[in-house]
Amino acid sequence: MQKLFQYNWQVRQDWFDWCRSVPEEELLKKRTGGVGAILPTLFHIVDVEYNWLCELDGRTDFFNDSYEGYATLQKVEALSERLHESVQAFVSSWSDELESKILQTTDSNGEAETFLYGEVMRHVIAHEIHHIGQLSVWSRELDQKPVTANLIRRGLFK
């Protein structure tokens, strides 16, 4: 489980670095698909990861800010770093016994919903990879080479 999170964090950092090579207006520009722009996508990834893991961790200090206050590369990257501490702590402490633990939650309509912890962890992993795939298309629209999505050859298993 941890390796896929580490992959996502490496790839996310590579995209923050990539963003520095692109004019900021391109990061904010409305695009087709996903959440509709590059920087809001990175913000959304950070937000979703943090809030799900916060819930799994039994904490209530959710991140509720809207994107509007974070509309610069520097702010989104700083947010990602700030929220990373507790995210990393939870992921590091993950063990197989948590796989079948039940999360009782509510959906966006306030209806009761249950998930397994292992289900939510994989959802968070897939969520980030999916949105990063969208960034790769937008990168080519900008005539920029995207960050590699390869998981191999990243030194993650040394």
Among 59, 82, 101, 122, binds a second copy (CB under 8 A): 122
Give the whole-angstrom CA distance, residue 22 versus residue 100. Answer: 43
Q: Using DSSP, state whether 114 is helix, strand or coil.
A: strand
Stretch that binds a second copy, among 13-21, 29-37, 69-77, 85-93 (CB under 8 A): 29-37
CA 132 to chain centre: 9
**2 is an interface residue for a second copy by CB under 8 A:** no
- The closest of 117, 128, 127 to 53, measured between CA atoms, is 117
Read off the DSSP letter of residue 55: H
Residue with Cβ nearer a second copy (52 or 90): 52
Q: Cβ atoms within 10 A of the Cβ of 8, count?
A: 21
Count interface residues toward a second copy (CB under 8 A).
35
By CB under 8 A, residue 126 contacts a second copy? yes
If the CB atoms of residues 75 and 151 are measured against a second copy, the closer one turns out to be 151
Question: Which member of 21, 32, 64, 95 binds a second copy (CB under 8 A)?
Answer: 32
- Is residue 71 part of the contact set for a second copy (CB under 8 A)? no
Task: State whether residue 105 is helix, strand or coil.
Answer: strand
Rounded to whole angstroms, what are the CA distances from 79 to 73, 88, 109? 10, 14, 28
**Block residue for tokens 């959906």:** 107
**From CA 112, how far away is CA 4, in angstroms rounded?**
29
Site string for a second copy, 127-156 (x = CB under 8 A): x-xxxxxx-xxxxxx----x--xxxx---x
- The reply to whether 42 sits near a second copy by the rule CB under 8 A is no
Shortest Å distance, C-beta 69 to a second copy = 26
Residues that bind a second copy (CB under 8 A): 3-4, 7, 32-34, 115-116, 118-120, 122-123, 125-127, 129-134, 136-141, 146, 149-152, 156-157
